[in-house]
Chains A and B, each alone.
Chain A
């Protein structure tokens, strides 16, 4: 049996908790990711997120402890390829139904602010 002393479930995190994580994320990076994720963070939230993500990512470093050079990535448990359905016309969602949960619409379309920015 594998020894429990080396890297048991919780030892890794506990051991790392004391040390300064090597992987640390700067506030500018947090802001960049927040824009990519279409989130808006206050400056306090940016600072908190930087600390928390740094700590979580420091834990993730454990993934690099194993040699995967000969391993194929696994994206999905079933590894299906191309499941097709018959190309038949069938009723879709009625417009009224599709719009009923929209926060703003004119009965035909979703309404949004100016897409091209201020003119």
Chain B
């Protein structure tokens, strides 16, 4: 893949709900000094802090419903 980072700024998509979408590859330094990396074409960064695989989004920001078997229950 061509490295276009020098030609244009990296795009980050921010919405009120859901993760930040950042063009990869990325290296992220965490509070404890460790770094995690991803070379995915795009990464989803958790902003709700509920992710069980922080800093990556795991869709834990989604609304919950008590309904026993809606369409998403698979």
Do A and B assemble together? no
